């Protein structure tokens, strides 16, 4: 069909390939050398009269099944132009000898020459031509061309074996995954590893040609891996033998093979092994192929490929056209042009983010943009703190600040609502007994979510946590004096003698003080209870819109009592672990090293240290790091999974997290009194200058910002979302450059300006 359409379009050049196609010619010769193919089918039957080129005659396929001259064979088949003969002078002599022997006729040679000369004349080649090369690479590598190449690569990935529907991989929270490459070229970083880690916590192993397979097996066993993703990046005999040895000793293997179709035959016995639960094929070994295979394994790319030839694996034959198909169920990774966004967006984001780092608006940041289920920007900039030399990467973990409200606490609230634990207009005091018989007894979940309770914005941890017996007079003044010498922030100076309380805090861990609040500061259950008692008895003002951290502290309190589980355990068990969001957690130092966590502020008074690995927000910190208003840490790539799940109506990776109706209620309802949704922030319609979003954001957009320099925005109208994570408070919250650069909203605006469809 493609050849017929090409001919019908009036195009005049055709290249014959070195393929064995028994449906055309039963002789074991490449089609380039087949007279039945070139002269019989192409010229006589299909009527092609243009120039016919061979593929390169130095290729193995051109000489594998032939005897004698490749050029003579190609001319006998009917080709006009012979490309790249191995020995030009020798081939000319062979052609002359064939004419003398009557194997070729002089008239045929003359006709080929006349045909070539006609085309040269028609194309103006009788005079010297200057081919303009300015912009050539840009023209050849247009956005459309790159997108097409990527789409073709993604579409050809073929799943030929899938025992018990293992793929796309589900139940990530119960899997201990190893990612193993075999046959990689020395020093070449495998894209396969990186992409697997975008989906799950997969430990990488690289087996070199001289490495011992038994040692690898011991390492896999010691790490208690229960699923091994093997990428065979070479099909030479050594690599095949290594994979075969590994397969004999390991169960639960997903094997990915990167070989030309005919060469896949050599993997036959490995493919049919009962230890290999799934087999995924790509037909070349490029970074792009590795990328799409990993995406297909995890469901970021739909499995749509079919075998181009029959695959004979001992007693099992996979026939041509065979392929196991399934749709995408997780985020994929693509270029902007693939989803209707101009590729120039990436360079524009680079410019804004690098400007922010250069102007010291923030030490570093991550930017994520996704549309139509594809991440089109996943970039990291700068360092985890100014001048510390630790570069921000995709796995750097940021303190989300108030973004925690809409990702940690709200995820838990939505789950409890989804389970039917409460209705939006139920009284919170039904669950939080500390509110009973107080002026807050009638507050509802809707009131808290809309920030319409009348509660104050927050509590002063300075006043609550400092021991009043250690100082005299005011704790904090607006100007420095003899007693107030410690600058807390602009317009706030602390008493030099004040010290932390010792009844609910300690400088040493113990059974009573078993939660690290900061380096050298420990709290416990009594610390948290003290904070909550102050919230229960906080002064209540007029019931109107007033953004308050205390609202979300009460929401978290209510959910914990409903679910009989701490907030951090609940959201991890039911939301983040099943999502594969393994960099998302409260109290990050329990799982990650400090070099993977961005710094926040230098706290000069309460904690008296550069806060690093502990939550920046004082209320959350002295609650033990797990609180409804703040405390969640995450990476941009992790948050992307949560946002896509909401866009999907509550499903991700084949798992349903919420009913579609739950997602609709929480993401679409909006207070009639403000720009607040049910836990989310929304644009101020008609007054974009008052919005936390950019001016172009649609009314359906929802998201949140965080004090540390974080934000996310989901736009269902355009099926896209945007995440910006930074630590603009390091080393101080008094940072005018962050507002001056305005990187969060600037990048958000650029996304809309680059939508093309």
Question: Does 186 have pLDDT greater than 60?
Answer: no
Write the CATH number for 94.
3.20.20.300
Write the CATH number for 384.
3.40.710.10
Same domain as 402, residue 313: no
Domain presence at residue 720: yes
Same domain as 157, residue 41: no
Domain boundary, last residue among 274, 308, 330: 330
Task: Report percent pLDDT > 90 for the chain.
Answer: 90
- For 339-367, the pLDDT digits (tens) are 999 999 999 999 999 999 999 999 999 99
Same domain as 376, residue 241: no
User: Can you give the pLDDT at residue 177?
Assistant: 98
- Per the structure, the complete domain to which residue 288 belongs is given by 147-330
For the chain, the residue count is 757
Same domain as 199, residue 113: no
Write the CATH number for 226.
3.40.50.1700
Same domain as 626, residue 687: yes
450 — pLDDT class (breaks 50, 70, 90): very high
Distance of CA 31 to the CA centre of its chain: 43
Domain presence at residue 132: no
Domain boundary, last residue among 313, 330, 347: 330
Same domain as 75, residue 174: no
Please check whether residue 428 is in contact with residue 416, taking contact to mean a CB–CB distance below 8 angstroms. no
Same domain as 182, residue 95: no
User: Can you give the pLDDT at residue 82?
Assistant: 96
68 — pLDDT class (breaks 50, 70, 90): confident
SS3 readout for 451-513: CCCCCCCCCCHHHHHEEHHHCCCCCEECCCCCCEEEEEECCEEEECCCEECCCCCECCCCCCC
User: Can you give the pLDDT at residue 27?
Assistant: 87
Q: Which of 82, 83, 79, 70 is nearest to 42 (CA)?
A: 79
- For 9-28, the pLDDT digits (tens) are 999 999 999 998 888 998 88
Please check whether residue 265 is in contact with residue 154, taking contact to mean a CB–CB distance below 8 angstroms. no
Domain presence at residue 483: no
Domain presence at residue 488: no
Domain presence at residue 348: no
Domain boundary, last residue among 89, 105, 122: 122
| Angle at CA of residue 307, ends 22 and 328, nearest 5° | 160
Q: How many domains does the chain have?
A: 3
240 — pLDDT class (breaks 50, 70, 90): very high
Domain presence at residue 351: no
The stretch 678-707 carries a mean pLDDT of: 95
Question: Does 63 have pLDDT greater than 90?
Answer: no
CA distance 396 to 583: 8
Question: Does 130 have pLDDT greater than 90?
Answer: no
pLDDT, the chain, mean: 95
Same domain as 72, residue 163: no
Same domain as 404, residue 522: yes
Q: Terminus-to-terminus CA distance in the chain, angstroms? A: 31
Please check whether residue 702 is in contact with residue 682, taking contact to mean a CB–CB distance below 8 angstroms. yes
Same domain as 210, residue 62: no
Same domain as 52, residue 195: no
- For 700-740, the pLDDT digits (tens) are 999 999 999 999 999 999 999 999 999 999 999 999 999 99
Question: Does 523 have pLDDT greater than 80?
Answer: yes
Same domain as 615, residue 741: yes
The stretch 526-541 carries a mean pLDDT of: 97
Dihedral angle sign, alpha carbons of residues 267, 273, 275, 277: positive
């Amino acid at each position: 069909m493609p050849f017929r359409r090409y001919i019908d379009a009036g195009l005049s050049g055709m290249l014959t390939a070195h393929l064995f196609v028994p449906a055309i010619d039963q002789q074991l010769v490449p089609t380039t050398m087949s007279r039945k193919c070139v002269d019989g089918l192409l010229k006589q039957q299909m009527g092609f009269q243009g120039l016919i080129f061979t593929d390169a005659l130095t290729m193995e396929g051109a000489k594998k099944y032939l005897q004698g001259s490749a050029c003579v064979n190609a001319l006998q088949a009917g080709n006009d132009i012979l490309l790249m003969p191995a020995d030009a002078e020798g081939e000319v002599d062979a052609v002359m000898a064939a004419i003398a022997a009557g194997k070729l006729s002089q008239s045929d040679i003359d006709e080929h020459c006349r045909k070539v000369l006609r085309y040269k004349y028609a194309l103006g080649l009788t005079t010297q031509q200057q081919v303009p090369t300015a912009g050539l690479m840009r023209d050849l590598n247009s956005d459309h061309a790159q997108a097409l190449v990527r789409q073709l690569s993604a579409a050809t990935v073929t799943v030929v074996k899938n025992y018990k529907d293992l793929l796309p991989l589900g139940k990530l929270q119960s899997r201990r995954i190893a990612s193993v490459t075999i046959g990689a070229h020395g020093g070449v970083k495998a894209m396969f590893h990186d992409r697997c880690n975008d989906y799950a916590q997969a430990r990488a192993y690289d087996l070199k040609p001289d490495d011992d397979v038994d040692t690898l097996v011991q390492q896999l066993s010691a790490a208690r891996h229960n699923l091994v993703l093997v990428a065979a990046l070479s099909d030479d005999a050594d690599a095949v033998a290594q994979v075969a040895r590994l397969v004999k000793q390991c169960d639960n293997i997903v094997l990915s093979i990167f070989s030309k179709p005919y060469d896949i035959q050599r993997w036959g016995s490995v493919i049919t092994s009962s230890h290999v639960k799934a087999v995924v094929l790509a037909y070349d070994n490029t970074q792009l192929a590795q990328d799409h295979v990993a995406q297909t394994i995890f469901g970021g790319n739909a499995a749509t490929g079919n075998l181009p030839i029959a695959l004979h694996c001992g007693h099992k034959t996979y026939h041509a056209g065979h392929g196991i198909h399934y749709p995408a169920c997780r985020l994929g990774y693509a270029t902007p042009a693939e989803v209707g966004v101009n590729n120039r967006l990436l360079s524009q984001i680079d410019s804004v983010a690098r400007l922010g780092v250069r102007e010291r608006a923030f030490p570093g940041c991550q930017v994520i943009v996704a549309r139509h289920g594809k991440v089109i920007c996943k970039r990291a900039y700068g360092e985890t703190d100014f001048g510390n030399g630790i570069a921000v990467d995709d796995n750097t973990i940021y303190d989300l600040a108030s973004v925690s409200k809409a990702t940690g606490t709200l995820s838990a609230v939505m789950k409890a609502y989804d389970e039917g634990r409460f209705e939006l207009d139920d009284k919170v005091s039904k669950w939080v007994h500390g509110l009973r018989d107080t002026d807050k007894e009638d507050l509802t979940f809707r009131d808290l979510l809309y920030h319409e309770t009348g509660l104050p914005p927050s509590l002063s941890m300075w006043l609550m946590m400092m021991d009043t017996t250690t100082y005299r007079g005011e704790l904090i003044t607006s100007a420095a004096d003899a007693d107030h010498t410690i600058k807390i922030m602009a317009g706030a100076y602390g008493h030099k003698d004040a010290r932390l309380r010792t009844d609910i805090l300690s400088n040493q861990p113990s059974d009573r003080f078993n939660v690290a609040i900061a380096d050298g500061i420990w709290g416990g259950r009594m610390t948290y209870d003290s904070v909550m008692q102050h919230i229960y008895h906080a002064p209540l003002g007029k019931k109107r819109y007033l953004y308050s951290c205390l609202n979300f502290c009460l929401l978290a309190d209510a959910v914990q009592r409903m679910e009989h589980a701490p907030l951090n355990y609940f959201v991890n068990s039911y939301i983040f672990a099943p999502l594969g969001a393994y960099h998302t957690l409260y109290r990050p130092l329990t799982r990650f090293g400090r070099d993977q966590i961005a710094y926040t502020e230098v706290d000069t008074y309460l904690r008296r240290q550069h806060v690093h690995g502990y939550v920046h927000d004082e209320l959350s910190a002295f609650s033990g790091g797990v609180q409804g208003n703040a405390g969640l840490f995450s990476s941009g790539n992790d948050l992307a999974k949560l946002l896509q799940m909401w866009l999907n109506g509550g499903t991700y990776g084949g798992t349903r997290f919420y009913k579609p109706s739950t997602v609709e209620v929480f993401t679409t309802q909006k207070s009639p009194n403000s720009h607040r949704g049910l836990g989310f922030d929304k644009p101020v319609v008609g007054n974009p200058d008052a919005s936390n979003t950019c001016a172009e954001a649609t009314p359906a957009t929802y998201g949140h910002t965080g004090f540390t320099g974080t934000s996310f925005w989901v736009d269902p109208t355009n099926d896209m979302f945007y995440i910006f994570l930074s630590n603009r408070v390091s080393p101080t919250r008094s940072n005018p450059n962050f507002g001056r650069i305005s990187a969060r909203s600037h990048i958000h605006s650029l996304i809309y300006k680059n939508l093309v469809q």
